[in-house]
A = this chain, B = another copy of it.
């Protein structure tokens, strides 16, 4: 009996995951507004009515997907609150997070880029809140980098933030568009290092 219950709970989690994965795929393919619940249900191999058994609404389902993204990201960033991690390491860790996520869930990264980062103007208040928190945290890193003279100061910290995220996003978008998989750990490292190098080179202080 208890086994049944347990497996039933697991089954709930499993089904939720199946739906979330399907939704991820469909949201990435069509975008939030163009994605239909029917599409998601079909992709998950269930009836569309069942989606509402697990999620309150389309919006709710979307937020559940985003939650995964933000949880991972803020878990990572809150470790830096003690100030012991170098700017380079923090930026490297950010790049690494994007690439790791891209490896595990490319759709999730793509959704973040297109539906959040690139659509910031139209976000719901809750979604905007998380995004702004993320921007602020990244901007703080840039400010420290400027204070430490490893980043140029003739471009505002917020702009450096945009450039940095833009570079990551471009790279990832490109890989999505080209359908490029991240095969080995080595390859991931090489790209991460290259990407960071391009940014740090580009953003290093100019000799007057």
Contact = CB atoms under 8 A, between A and B. Distances in A.
Interface of A: 28-31, 33-34, 113-114, 118-122, 154-155, 158-159, 162-163, 165-167, 169-171, 173-174, 176-178, 194, 197-199, 201-204, 206
Contacts of A176: 121
Contacts of A29: 121-122
B122 A31 contact: yes
27 contacts: A31-B33, A34-B122, A113-B118, A114-B118, A118-B173, A121-B177, A154-B194, A155-B198, A158-B174, A159-B171, A159-B174, A162-B171, A162-B173, A162-B174, A162-B177, A163-B167, A166-B166, A166-B171, A167-B170, A167-B202, A170-B170, A198-B202, A198-B203, A199-B202, A201-B201, A201-B204, A202-B202
B31 A119 contact: yes
Main secondary structure on chain A at its contact with chain B? Answer: helix
Contacts of A169: 166, 170
A177 B159 CA distance: 11
Interface centre among A31, A155, A170 (most CB of B within 10 A): A170
Contacts of A154: 194
A81 B195 CA distance: 31
B155 A162 contact: no
Contacts of A203: 198, 202
A39 B59 CA distance: 23
Contacts of A30: 122
Interface centre among A122, A166, A194, A204 (most CB of B within 10 A): A166
A3 B29 CA distance: 41
A22 to B, nearest CB: 17
A165 B163 CA distance: 11
Nearest to A168: B166
Contacts of A204: 201
Contact of A173 (B166, B197, B202): B166
A201 B29 CA distance: 35
